[in-house]
Each structure stands twice: as C-alpha cells, then as structure tokens.
Structure 1
Amino acid sequence: MNSEERLKESEILELKKSTAQLKPGIISIVAMLNKNQEGKLYFGIKDDGTVLGQDIGEDTLRNISQSISANIEPRIYPSIRQVSIKGKNCIEIEFRGSDIPYLAYGRAYIRISDEDKLLSRRELEDIILRKNRSQLKWDTAICRDATLEDLSEEKIREFVKAAGKKYTGLENSLKKLKLIEDRKLTNAAVIIFGENPETFFPNAKLRCATFATCDTSYIIDMQEFTGDIFDLIEEAQKYILKNIHIGMKLEGLKRIDVPEINEEAIREAVVNAFCHRDYYEYDSVNVAIFKNRVEIRNKGRLYGGLTIEQIKSEMVSERRNELIAEIFHEIHLIEKWGRGINTILTKEPDTDFREIGNQFIVTFKRKSIEKVGEKVGEKVGEKVGEITKETLTENQKKIIGLILQNPDITTRELAENVGISKRKVEENISKLKKKEVLRRLGPARGGHWEVIEK
C-alpha cells in the first residue's frame, strides 16, 4: 500500500478503530459474506482511512478467532494476522465462504455499499431459496411428463448440422448434448428443442412493447411471443430492429442499413437475457422500447456473487444455466470467455446495466435520427429544404424525413418514431397532402409514400 494512499470502505472492506468494535466487526464479516462470499476487516484504522494502530497483546488474535468461531454460523476459518500499515500495528482479517446465509449473533445481515443491513425474514428466505435452486440447476432438472415426442427432431437435426457435427439419431444426439438421462428429458432439452415448450413452461415467452414517450404512459404496440429459446431470441432481435430508427450509409453504390443501436450489441444483450435468466421465476424476458432508450429485462440478478463493476471491467462470467450455456456455445451464440459484456460496451459504450429487485436490466440509449448512419439527418434536412419552401412544423419535417428514408413506413411506425399519436400523424399527413408536399401511391396496404419535389 502506497504511504499516501488511504484504505476506503466498500462492499468487501470494513475498517474499525480498535477491537473494542469487535461485535460490529463480526456483523460486518457476515454481511460481506452474504453479499460477496469474501472480504477483509482491519482493526486499527478509522472508517475514513486514517491509520491509528492497534494494541496487540499475547491473546488478542486468539480472542478474535474464538469470538468469530462462537458468534458466526455456519463456521468460517478466516486468516487473522498482525500487519504494519504506515508504520503502525494493525490487525487484518481475511475471510471467504459460500455456505450462505451466514448469521452473526443469530441474525443475518447483508452488505450494501459500505453499510451492514439487517435482513428481513423475507429476504433471508429468498437467499435460502436461491441457494437451494443453485444446488439443483433448473436446466439440468428432469422435465416431468415430457417425452421424445414433445421434441422437434427437425430442430435437433438442424442444430447438430449448425454445430458442425454428424447427426446420429434423435436420442443419441440428445445424449451427446447431455440433454437426456435414463430416457428422461431435461428442462433444457424441452425449452430449446420442444415443439411447444410453453406447454410445460408458461414462462417460456417473450413480451415486447413500444411506448410513445420516455415512460409507460402511452403504449403504441404490445406483443407476446412463445416458442423455443432460439425462436424467442430471433423474435426479440426482429422486434427491436423493427421499432428503432434505421439510417443508411453508402459503400460505393451500395446502400447499407445502419440501426441507431448496434445490431451486434442488441444480439449479445438478448442472448444473455435468455441464457442467464432465472427460469424458476414466473416471468418472461421483456423488451421495452421508449422514445429515448431500449430496455431488455430478465428475471435473475447476476449469478455467483458477481457485481456489475466486475462484469464491466473483467472478462468473467458465472453461468446460472450451465447446460443452456453449453448449447449456445456449440453454435457460437456465446463465448466461454465471457466476452459478451465487453462486446456490448465496445459497440455501445453508453450501455447501462442495473439490478432492480430480482431483475437484471440492460439499457441502450437511443440516438436521434440525425446521428444514424453517416450524416443521414443532415442529408435528409437538406433534402427537406430542397423539396419545399412551405412552412412546416417540426413534426411535419420529421414525418417527411422518415418517409424520405423509408417510403414504405406505416403510420404506426411514424407515430412511434415522431413520438405522437397515430391520429396526430394522420392529421399532419392530411395537411401535407393539402400543401402538395406528400402523396400516397397505391393502396393503403402495399402502396408507398412519395414526397413531391418542387
């Protein structure tokens, strides 16, 4: 430790002035274990990092060890030693343990930032439930009542081919993928290759919604999808790309579509949601598209004690559904090295990751249409200026700009992108037609818009 540096309390570090604070120190040990399964505690350092030093007698370390042993359940075996910090004697206690929940003086605590919070009975029950679930992984558990007839042999055949392997029959292929045991199918087998997985798992679904504003007050569209995991991943990606701005750039004479949110980042976030979600929870993967952002939500906080800071700074991943993850890896949907988060942040650096309740949420910031592609907004603005000398409202300019990019755009899509109701879009279109700026060619279904140049 640099002589100028000060230790700072965190989720895995607690500082105490002296062993007179041994009891709250033991509570801190339990709180850190319950949150992160590891931590350090120092005696002889104030909570602001000032090193005071600690009187250490013959029995001091032994007394600390005995007090920890007597007051923490289940028992832990920490490293307790005398250390010199800035020339002063201090006591360092380093500890690890995964047999949560731990109790201090008969009560359970959890670490929140640098504070120790007493767990409620409900929170304690949730920890015990999650522990039991982790011991019996959902994806490897047997799906009762499911038989080989409930699977799609075509899906399995196509998967084996995509994985670059030889198809050797339905049951043999399932054995190689560890999806069947004593002719009984695992949950993973059914939710990945089932004809109708929702028959067995009501939460095998995807919910998508598009909102007109930055909150949920006005819904433009809402859809629900069921099916196997691969189908749901595909539907989630399609829904997002359909409901965000698509710009364009030119490579030579070829037009290339450019979504306002990187397509690879979207794919990684969607795949992670289905791979790492807690399937014991009765809920779907949810996609919410707002005027200023896109959220992908799944039940299940980070697994294995990982923190958001760790997944952002380290290429590390803990798998809640190891079997599902292995299937994804077979066809390169995910990498074993936990590079998915790094890919997202490389493609979309402003991506936000949050844990709220038992949900993990990935949020992509939407870009204004002017920023999509290579100066698309600038070119559209110039074109709008060339087209008409009429005075247009801001909403009418946006409508013209969107139509110039996509003449097949629907009034619903216009409403979503402009951020107004479908009725308001229709009113503006009527005014634009009267000004002879816009016309409709062909039928309502199958036709397209044309901006009239003057």
Structure 2
Amino acid sequence: MSFPYDNPANVLRKLGLVAGGRLLNAAKALFSKNAPLTVQAAVFAGRDKITFLDIQNYQGNIFELAAKVELYVQEHINWRADLSGSIRVEIPEIPVRAIKEAIINSLCHRDFSNPKSNEVAIYRDRIEIFNPGLFPYEYSPEDFITGSQPSIPRNPLIAETLFRSEDIEKWGSGLRRISQECRAAGVKVTFTKIKSGFVVTFLRPETRNMQGDAPKGGGVNGGVNGGVNSLLDFIVRKPGLRLPALSDKLKISNRTLEKWLTRLKNEKKIVYKGSPKTGGYYPV
C-alpha cells in the first residue's frame, strides 16, 4: 500500500473499509479468506461452449481470484520463443498486462448484488472476460478509451484499494490501457455492453508453436501440441533434468510442465530415471 502502516486494522481504517467497528462488505470482498466470490474459467475446444477441455471454479477474495485467473489464462494461451538474441524470450499471443488489466477490472467493477459469477472463457479463436456488472448506461466504452469522460467506479472503495495496491494505475484508465497494450502487440480487442453485464474479448492471433515456426493446428490444441513437442525436443537434447531445471531453462510454469511431462510419459516417449531428488527425465 502507498502509505505507512503498522497493522491490518490501521490499513483497513485508512482505506475506509471499517465503519462502527465492523468490516464493510468491500473489505470482505478484498481481503476475507471466506469471501463468497467466484470466477468460472474454462477452455473450450472450438468457437462455442459445446465441448470443453478444462473447467475450473475458483473461489476467494479479489486479490486471490485475480492471481489465480491470471495464471490460468497464461497457462492456456500460446507462447512463442524469440531466439534472436542471446537470451530466450517467451512472448504471449496476447499481452499479459492487457489480460491482467481486464481481469482486475472485471472484479473491481462487478455488481456484487448479482449472484452470477465472473467468467473467463478461452475459445479457439478468442478469449472472453465477462463481468456481471452493467456498463454505465449513457456511456460507451469508447468514452473511456479516449479519456473524454471521468471515471464512474461502481465500487469506489474497492477501486481505491486496488489503486493503492498498484493493481490499477488510476480510475477510468483500464479500458484505455487494455486497448493500448493490444494495439502495440497487433492484437484486436473489443468491448461489448450486453444485457447481463460487460465483456472484454481478445481475438487470438494465428496459432504458432512455441518456437515461433509456421502454424501447426489451431487454438488451444495447437499451442499445447507445439509445447509438448518442444519439451520433448529439449529433453532429447538435454536429458537428465528434473522439473525445476526444465522450468528454469524453458521459462514455463511447473504446473504446465507437469501436464506435458505426464502426457509424454503416458505416450511412452520419456521416462524418469533415478531418485526423486537426483534423477531426471530421459527420452525413450
């Protein structure tokens, strides 16, 4: 937080989250370990919700949910490796900062009287982040992208806390930053007012494999297959490494690598040799 404090009670008081000695609902949504907030996140096989490849129902407070959902999206989008320099650089198909901004904004500006969950849907051709909070009726998303209108926070105490924690930069700038990040990366993004809330949609670029080669397959399946194949190639070239070393070398999360390693073992393409502490993965 951007002010000195010595204990949680002092923080809550300075943020205006306590009244009459009791926590306000905003404080519970932000910090409670028993916050009743949920986000449904899913990966779908195609361009509709007929077949899903993975589905999760996350619960927690705003800070916990933002971290969990951001990680979920990062693990299910495609990344390519830029090997042009001396250091391998992983580049996401959609800017991570734009994804983070869309997620935190959907939680910050949701309608807490609406029992419907926030939703993140990852399709083959797009990613949709749904917020069950109606957009200000007389305004359009473009009003806030251009900065022609002042901020209208639905939950000002929550917005102020997220500003203090530096999860948002300033009120009313979220849509503009998402738009700027996507424009710089050549990614198309749309903002849509619907009857039940508000949706930010990232259109996914042409799927490429992890090495940045020509496209192979499409959507989630293409990215996963490319990642698994690249992992297998790496193990062939550098056998004997354990999960932490592979994660460090490839700059990919342990959770994602565990899934890929399990798949390769089930396909009998790799085998783990040695003890859990000193062994490693080898090609079959």
Q: Could you tell me the TM-score, scaled by structure 2's length?
A: 0.76
Q: Tell me if structure 1 keeps the 8 A contact 2:81–2:212.
A: yes
Q: What does residue 330 of structure 1 align with?
A: 164
Residue 397 (structure 1) shift: 9.3
Partner residue of 2:73?
A: 240
2-structure distance, mates of 1:410, 1:333: 28
Contact 1:225-1:232 within 8 A present in 2 as well = yes
Render the CA deviation track for 1:271-297: whole Å, top value 9, x for unaligned: 110111111100111000111111000
* Counterpart secondary structure, 1:309: helix
Query: Conserved in 1, the CA contact under 8 Å of 2:79 and 2:90?
Result: yes
Question: Counterparts in 2 of 1:9-408, with a 5 A limit?
Answer: 163-198=1-36, 204-250=37-83, 252-303=85-136, 305-314=138-147, 316=149, 317-349=151-183, 350-370=188-208, 376-378=212-214, 401-407=226-232
How far does the alpha carbon of each residue in 1:171-219 deviate from its partner, in whole angstroms, 9 at most, with x for none? Answer: 3322111000110210011111112112xxxxx1111011011111111
**CA offsets 1:402-424 (integer angstroms, 9 cap, x no match):** 3343448679779xxxxxxxxxx
Contact map agreement 1:351 1:365 (CA 8 A) in 2: yes
Q: For 1:309 and 1:224, how far apart are their aligned partners in 2?
A: 32
Query: How much does 1:335 deviate?
Result: 2.5
Q: Quick one: distance in 1 between partners of 2:126 and 2:6?
A: 46
Determine if contact 2:78/2:223 at 8 Å carries over to the other structure.
Answer: no
Letter in 2 for 1:440: K
What whole-Å deviation, never above 9, does each CA across 1:8-59 have from its counterpart, x for those lacking one?
A: xxxxxxxxxxxxxxxxxxxxxxxxxxxxxxxxxxxxxxxxxxxxxxxxxxxx
Distance 1:358 1:449 in 2: 51
Contact 2:77 2:223 in 1 (8 A): no
Q: CA RMSD in A?
A: 3.4
Alpha-carbon distance in 1 for matches of 2:57, 2:179 = 28
Distance 1:256 1:227, change over 3 A: same
Distance 1:299 1:267 in 2: 18
* Counterpart code for 1:171: A
| 8 Å contact kept, 1:210–1:243 | yes
Deviation at 1:311, TM superposition (A): 2.4
Q: Secondary structure at the match of 2:54?
A: strand
Note the C-alpha offset of 1:249: 1.1
Cα distance in 2 for partners of 1:253, 1:363 equals 35
Counterparts in 2 of 1:398 and 1:296: CA distance versus 1, 3 Å: closer
User: Kindly tell me: are residues 411 and 327 of structure 1, through their superposed partners in 2, closer, same or farther at Cα, counting changes over 3 Å?
Assistant: closer
Structure-2 change in CA distance of 1:300 and 1:413 (3 Å): farther
State the Cα distance separating 1:166 from its structure 2 match. Answer: 2.6
Larger RCO: 1 or 2 (CA < 8 Å, sep 6+): 2
1:104-162 Cα offsets, whole Å, 9 max, x none, are xxxxxxxxxxxxxxxxxxxxxxxxxxxxxxxxxxxxxxxxxxxxxxxxxxxxxxxxxxx
Q: Which runs of 5+ in 2 are unaligned?
A: 233-245, 247-255, 273-278
Tell whether the 8 Å contact from 1:304 to 1:318 is kept in structure 2 after alignment: no
Task: Give structure 1 stretches of 5+ with no counterpart.
Answer: 1-162, 199-203, 382-393, 415-424, 431-438
SS of structure 1 residue aligned to 2:4: coil
Structure-1-length-normalised TM-score: 0.49
